[in-house]
């Protein structure tokens, strides 16, 4: 199947990044959100990020203008129904995703493929609640989308080979690399990454080290580009906790128990960069550890 028109649901950090890479790869994009302010903010970010690419000679000004012209925005979910591919990139809550796919169903064209950018939820379960489980799969982009090379492709139990092969081709057109994962909680990346962050929080909770020493140890001792606590703040501690809960509930293993300190930070609303405070305080010129 030839994919040319792509609908993206959710104009947040992931949604606007996905819109960016599709538009700059020649796809026609319709970006949807319930908030017009979110759409305006998303377009502003895409304009800023593409301008940066031009300044770094990664894109010509003509190609930038063409890419921006390929993006339209809408608050009406039904307007995405005729797209060749619709990708849901909303909040990582299954009830919200179910509601979105249910609301989209009446307007969907027969040929439309559905995908979710979920980072941990069951593809099979999400697909089973739609009218086209064979044309549904997980397409998990990494954050920040324009910079990260990997896309996880996750088939549900009913996903057809045609749908899978089509999405392999889409990822290739985006000039990214696909990694195929089985439909288990967390897939590959978050099955490994988020428990590492959770273990770093345990190390902090138990007094093994402070924020600065834990992050410095992993950056300098394991050559990680970001320390695990800094990375947790970047991802969003609420997202990290949600994924840990999915792993703990889905795999029923105590090694996936969320650290009580992670729970406490989320309960306090200290969820990382997006709110200005997490394991670091970002409200000044330089991030300052909070513990």
Which pair of structure tokens corresponds to residue 265?
């930070």
Annotated catalytic residue, options 20, 32, 122, 140: 140
**Is 12 annotated for ligand binding?**
yes
Tell me the backbone φ, ψ of residue 272, rounded to 5 degrees: 120, -155
Asked if 279 and 290 count as a contact pair (C-beta separation under 8 A), the reply is yes
Question: Is 28 annotated as belonging to a binding site?
Answer: no
| Contacting residues for 74 by C-beta, under 8 A, at least 6 apart | 30, 31, 32, 39, 80
36 is in an annotated binding site: no
Residue pair 19/71 in contact (Cβ under 8 Å)? The answer is yes
Q: Is 14 annotated as a binding residue?
A: yes
Catalytic residue chosen out of the listed positions 152, 198, 230, 248: 152
Is 81 annotated as contributing to ligand binding? no
143 annotated ligand-binding residue: yes
152 is catalytic: yes
In the DSSP assignment, the letter for residue 227 is -
140 annotated active-site: yes
**Which residue in the list 16, 30, 117, 119 is annotated as catalytic?**
119
137 and 156 Cβ atoms separated by less than 8 Å: yes
274 annotated binding-site participant: yes
Task: Identify each DSSP E strand in the chain by its residue range.
Answer: 5-9, 28-32, 71-74, 85-88, 113-116, 136-141, 150-155, 177-181, 280-281, 288-289
119 assigned ligand-binding residue:
yes
Secondary structure (H, E, C), 65-101 = HHHHHCEEEECCHHHHCCCCEEEECCCCCHHHHHHHH
Q: Can you read off the two tokens belonging to residue 85?
A: 């591919």
| Active-site choice (120, 190, 230, 248) | 190
* Whether residue 33 has a cis bond before it, omega within 30° of 0: no
**Catalytic machinery residues:** 119, 140, 152, 190
| Residues in the annotated binding site for NAD(+) | 10-15, 33, 92, 97, 119, 143, 274
Binding-site residues, in ranges, read 10-15, 33, 92, 97, 119, 143, 274
């Amino acid at each position: 199947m030839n994919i040319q028109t792509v609908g993206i649901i959710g104009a947040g950090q992931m949604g606007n990044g996905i819109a960016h890479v599709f538009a700059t790869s020649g796809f026609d994009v319709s970006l949807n959100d319930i908030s017009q302010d979110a759409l305006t903010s998303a377009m502003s970010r895409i304009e800023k990020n593409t301008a940066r690419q031009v300044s770094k000679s990664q894109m010509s000004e003509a190609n930038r203008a063409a890419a921006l012209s390929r993006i339209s925005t809408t608050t009406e979910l039904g307007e995405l129904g005729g797209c060749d591919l619709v990708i849901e990139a909303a909040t990582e809550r299954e009830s919200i995703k179910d509601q979105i796919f249910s609301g989209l169903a009446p307007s969907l064209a027969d040929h439309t493929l559905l995908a979710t950018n979920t980072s941990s939820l069951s593809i099979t379960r999400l697909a089973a609640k739609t009218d086209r489980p064979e044309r549904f799969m997980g397409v998990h982009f990494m954050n920040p989308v324009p910079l990260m090379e990997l896309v996880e492709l996750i088939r549900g139990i009913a996903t057809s080979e045609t749908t899978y092969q089509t999405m392999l081709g889409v990822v290739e057109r985006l000039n990214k690399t696909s990694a195929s994962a089985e439909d288990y909680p967390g897939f590959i990346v978050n099955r490994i990454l988020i428990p590492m962050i959770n273990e770093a929080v345990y190390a902090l909770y138990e007094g093994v080290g402070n924020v600065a020493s834990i992050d410095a140890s992993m950056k300098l001792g394991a050559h990680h580009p970001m320390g695990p606590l800094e990375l947790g703040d970047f991802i969003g501690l609420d997202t990290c906790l949600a994924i840990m809960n999915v792993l703990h509930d889905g795999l029923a293993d105590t090694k996936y128990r969320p650290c009580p300190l992670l729970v406490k930070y989320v309960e306090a609303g200290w969820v990382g960069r997006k709110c200005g405070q997490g394991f670091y305080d970002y409200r000044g010129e330089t991030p300052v550890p909070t513990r």
